[in-house]
Amino acid sequence: MRRTSAHHTLITATALGLALAASAPAVAHTQSAADTNRRVRVTLTVQGPDGMLYKGKIRTRGHDVTTVAGGTHHCDGTNGAANPSPVPTPTAALDDAAHKRHFTWDGTWYASFDDYSVDAIKGVSGGSSAYWNISVNGASTPVGGCQFKLNAGDKVAFTWTAF
């Protein structure tokens, strides 16, 4: 009697396991926007001409941002079709830090790049002889700050850089 019950349990568990295994590929197949755009924790530094303007860890994800010069646009890595679905980005991280620590940044929107050029941070602009370089883990990004995908633990730097 007990043996039959155990046997039955085994068959049921096996059938359940097979059913789960059969459905697993379908679940793993589609990666939703929520998955690719989960908040990540990154280190952000803003190095101005006269010293560090900001340094801290920030939890961030891709989102719409608003600047005085450029208005409101997406900044979630889908800019310029750089990524197929929304992801965290350097400029979105800057925007999150700015809101959290109550400092300003400004950027001009270029429809041609579907991105902002970051022109000023904490009121410090590049002017005609410098610019705000964007780097991740020490390497200058090959695209603008709303197109580059950030991963957890990345070191994001906005560095005032003379031409």
List contacts with ligand B12 (CB under 6 A).
Answer: 80, 110, 113, 115-118, 131-134, 140-145, 147
The CB-of-21 to ligand B12 minimum distance in angstroms stands at: 43
> Which amino acid, residue 99?
H
Do strands 71-75 and 63-67 pair parallel, antiparallel, or not at all (unpaired)? antiparallel
Closer residue to ligand B12 (CB): 86 or 90: 90
Closer residue to ligand B12 (CB): 58 or 116: 116
Q: Which positions ≥6 away from 19 have C-beta within 8 Å?
A: none
Q: How far apart are CA 87 and CA 150, in angstroms?
A: 7
Spell out where 3-162 has E strands: 40-48, 51-60, 63-67, 71-75, 105-110, 115-121, 124-125, 130-136, 139-140, 155-162
Tell me the two tokens of residue 94. 């800057």
The CB-of-140 to ligand B12 minimum distance in angstroms stands at: 4
The CB-of-34 to ligand B12 minimum distance in angstroms stands at: 26
The CB-of-156 to ligand B12 minimum distance in angstroms stands at: 11
Cβ-closest position to ligand B12:
144
Closer residue to ligand B12 (CB): 61 or 73: 73
> Which amino acid, residue 31?
Q
In contact, 105 and 92? CB cutoff 8 Å: no
The CB-of-30 to ligand B12 minimum distance in angstroms stands at: 28
Closer residue to ligand B12 (CB): 54 or 132: 132
Closer residue to ligand B12 (CB): 103 or 113: 113
